[in-house]
Amino acid sequence: MFQTLYSYFWWERLWLPANLTWADLEDRDGRVYAKASDLYITLPLAFLFLVVRHLFETYVATPLAGLLNVKEKVRLKATPNAVLEKFYAATSKHPKQADVEVLSKKSGCTVRQVERWFRRRRNQDRPSLLKKFREASWRFTFYLIAFIAGMAVIVDKPWFYDLREVWKGYPIQSMLPSQYWYYMIELSFYWSLLFSIASDVKRKDFKEQIIHHVATIILISFSWFANYIRAGTLIMALHDSSDYLLESAKMFNYAGWRNTCNNIFIVFAAVFIITRLVILPFWIMHCTVFYPLDLYPAFFGYYFFNFMMVVLQSLHIFWAYLIIRMAQKFITGKVVEDERSDREETDNSEEEEEVAKNGPLSNGHPVLNNNHRKTD
């Protein structure tokens, strides 16, 4: 049964145009072609990435956070309460008003104390500022290096300037060592992101992030199997061109450098929209949808590759919507925040205590003598 499934999976008509077989892609005359077995190395490389990430975050990102004065916000811990903890863990982190009243009677606390306990307990589970900074630093470093390396791989190739060259001679297109390592490193990195997603900072687009990582892994892997390497390198470099800008904006945001963060964010928004909503659909996807049909009839691999491109483009449209919302806030003078982030909740009782001690509040923070608000 396994052999039958294996045979169906690697049936040439699924992966290659008509009248071509895997024998046409066997190494010969010094020309090397992509093979599915090449991708086995990406799994151990993914775990190596996790080790390198841990070392980077410990010995590079953490000292850098200290230099940039990234400070943790002091969080008040919820007092131990078995009744409330059981409800928090097993039922809901956001109890309804009826639940709050029932929990108040069971725990012997007032309704206000129960509400305060849940606010503090939720804040305890939120990732620390240092964790966010370390994660953004790691991704910034990888995306920047990957973008520079990717451009070095493709900038001297004819298909970088003429997209019809992407399909010239397809699929009998040999592979260069630089293309091999570019693919292996990119795919390994996305495997590492998928492996660590449960422990990374969770944002509101958590499900979309999982879909993105899975779609990216499938797209990179399939493009390797079907020898869509030229198109694949263009797509990967295009994505890396804006990602490092977003991560650097996050780093400066966590460090409290608001103006620098806002300026980088505007550059990121412009690059993201140009690359993901203009170049990708109107140049790259046009290249993958129309140009191959000039050479051979459509086959399953053609449809599958472009379907995954549509999935990826749909996610880009979703994220572009969030980016435009943030850009509008920036233009109107509001502080730019990550629309995907889960904001920390304020304890109202603490605010009232601060009013008594320090005077009136502005948006939940004491008004300082220099007429500037304290920022989180």
The answer to whether the beta carbons of residues 77 and 120 sit under 8 Å apart is: yes
Q: Express each pLDDT in 163-222 by its tens digit.
A: 999 999 888 888 899 999 999 999 999 999 999 988 887 777 678 788 888 988 999 999
As a whole number of angstroms, the distance between CA 333 and CA 327 comes to: 10
Average pLDDT over residues 278-304: 92
Q: Say whether the peptide bond before residue 292 is cis (omega within 30 degrees of 0).
A: no
Q: Are strands 365-366 and 361-362 parallel, antiparallel or unpaired?
A: antiparallel
Q: Where are the domains of the chain?
A: 28-68+128-332, 82-125
Q: Give residues with Cβ within 8 angstroms of 121, minimum separation 6.
A: 78, 84, 85, 88, 93
Cα angle, residue 268 at apex, residues 267 and 273 outer, rounded to 5°: 105
At residue 356, does pLDDT exceed 60?
no
Q: Which helix (H) or strand (E) holds 189?
A: helix 177-196
Which amino acid is it at 13? Answer: R
Q: Express each pLDDT in 308-325 by its tens digit.
A: 899 989 989 998 998 888
Whether the predicted model's global pTM rises above the 0.85 cut: no
Q: Which two three-digit tokens encode residue 343?
A: 């904001």
Kindly indicate the confidence band of residue 343, based on its pLDDT and cuts at 50, 70 and 90: low
Q: Express each pLDDT in 220-255 by its tens digit.
A: 999 998 889 999 999 999 999 999 999 999 999 999
Amino acid 357: pLDDT: 42
Amino acid 13: pLDDT: 78
As a whole number of angstroms, the distance between CA 154 and CA 179 comes to: 9
Kindly indicate the confidence band of residue 64, based on its pLDDT and cuts at 50, 70 and 90: very high
SS3 192: helix
Looking up tokens 């928090």 gives 88
Amino acid 94: pLDDT: 84
100/75: higher pLDDT: 100
Average pLDDT value over all residues in the chain: 83
Kindly indicate the confidence band of residue 361, based on its pLDDT and cuts at 50, 70 and 90: very low
The answer to whether the beta carbons of residues 312 and 216 sit under 8 Å apart is: yes
For the domain bounded by 82-125, which CATH number is listed?
1.10.10.60
Q: Give residues with Cβ within 8 angstroms of 343, minimum separation 6.
A: 337
Which amino acid is it at 356? Answer: A
DSSP 8-state code for residue 30: T
Q: Express each pLDDT in 138-160 by its tens digit.
A: 999 999 999 999 999 999 999 99
At residue 297, does pLDDT exceed 50?
yes
Main-chain dihedrals φ then ψ at residue 348, nearest 5 degrees: -60, -35
pLDDT > 90: what percent of the chain? Answer: 43
Among 169, 160, 156, 85, residue whose Cα is nearest residue 120: 85
As a whole number of angstroms, the distance between CA 208 and CA 123 comes to: 23
Cα distances from 98 to residues 81, 122, 347, in angstroms, run 19, 19, 20
As a whole number of angstroms, the distance between CA 158 and CA 359 comes to: 67
The answer to whether the beta carbons of residues 87 and 104 sit under 8 Å apart is: no
Conformational region of residue 103, where left means phi above 0, alpha means psi within -120 to 50, and beta covers everything else: alpha
Amino acid 362: pLDDT: 35
Amino acid 169: pLDDT: 86
DSSP 8-state code for residue 19: T
As a whole number of angstroms, the distance between CA 169 and CA 166 comes to: 9
